[in-house]
Amino acid sequence: MTVPTVGIQAPNLPPKPRPSLFAIGGTLAAIAMTIVTARSVGFSFGGIVTNLGRKNSVIEGLLSPDWGQIWSRRSRAPFIETFQLAVLGTATGSLLSLPLALWSTRFGNPNPFTRGILRGFNNVIRSIPDLLWALLFVSAVGIGALPGLLALFFFSLAVTTKLTSDTLDGIDMGPIEAANATGANLSQMLRTAVVPQILPAYSSFVLYNFEINLRASAVLGLVGAGGIGNRIEFFRGRGEWEELWGLVFMFFLVVFVVERISVTLRRRLI
């Protein structure tokens, strides 16, 4: 059934608001900045086209990758190491991130001084990218898996703390008041009134963090911090592109499978 609208005049809408000066200015500034930066880095489509036509052993390797690398015994060990690094880095980093995120909230830490210190610490570790962590620890403790683990630990800590803090901003404050009213202490309140509220989101962040760590570990090896990246760097140094691409395909496959599993799990969590 349709409601007859004939004969009913639509009321006049108030005049449409103009786009704000801020929006116009912001859009223009973004366009201008893109043009200026493209010029200053010497970007040109011509360069890409001419370079594509040249003979290039890297691209040739890509066309005939060495599939044998997938089952090669010498590649398996660094793969396992990559996995171990990702699991350990995620587990340790995200375990510590939960109290860290809780203690940087107003309700989880009534002391403004220590809260400020914790928030500052979170901001500092967040601004350091994974590769820089790896470089720092390679210089500090030497090459191998240890600097990779330390890098992933701090990187996970930063990522999970940030995501968890954002979730904590949006929780229901009612149960907190209820727990405080029963005479619970701070830890008991956080455990019973706050943690159950954020646990699904937090678990999802841990899984997501594991995905990032697995991918990051490919790069960590390039600076000598262990894992599959070491092996990639080894082939790269020798110019063995067929082997390198075989390994990269294998890595791609592993990351793809892990990501699919993780995405499915995360969808069930939230």
Partner 1 sequence: MIRFEDASVTYPGGVLALRDLSIEVDAGEFVVIVGLSGAGKSTLIRAVNGLVPLTSGKLQVNGREVTELSRAGMRELRSEVGMIFQGFNLVERTTVLNNVLMGRLHRVPTWRTLLGMYPKADIDIAARALGQVEIIEKAYTRASDLSGGQRQRVGIARALAQEPSIVLADEPVASLDPPTSHVVMRYLQQISRDLGITTIVNLHFLDLATAYADRIIGLRDGMLVFDGPGSACDAQVFEDIYGRSLTADDTMHKQAAL
Residues forming the site for partner 1 (CB under 8 A) = 172, 174-175, 177-185, 187-189, 191-193, 196-197, 199-200
Closest to 148 (Cα-Cα) out of 196, 84, 195: 84
Q: How far is the CB of 96 from partner 1 (least distance, A)?
A: 15
Phi, psi of 12 (to 5 degrees): -70, 130
**Encoded amino acid at 29, one letter:** A
CA distance 264 to 270: 11
State in angstroms the smallest separation of the CB of 204 from partner 1. 14
Distance CA 255, CA 228 (A): 12
Amino acid letter, residue 152 = L
**Shortest approach of partner 1 to residue 175 CB, angstroms?**
5
Distance of closest approach, residue 182 Cβ to partner 1, in angstroms: 5
| Closer to partner 1 by Cβ: residue 120 or 196 | 196
- Name the residue nearer to partner 1 (CB basis): 166 or 177: 177
Backbone φ/ψ region at 204: left (φ over 0), alpha (ψ -120 to 50), beta: alpha
Distance CA 178, CA 172 (A): 11
Least distance to partner 1, CB of residue 111, Å:
13
Long-range contacts from 186-193, C-beta under 8 angstroms, 24+ separation: 186/108, 186/110, 190/102, 190/108
- Locate 235 and state its tokens: 């082939």
Closer CB to partner 1, residue 15 or residue 174?
174
Nearer to partner 1, 88 or 95 (CB): 95
Measured from the CB atom, is 26 or 196 closer to partner 1?
Answer: 196
Cβ nearer to partner 1, comparing 75 with 204: 204
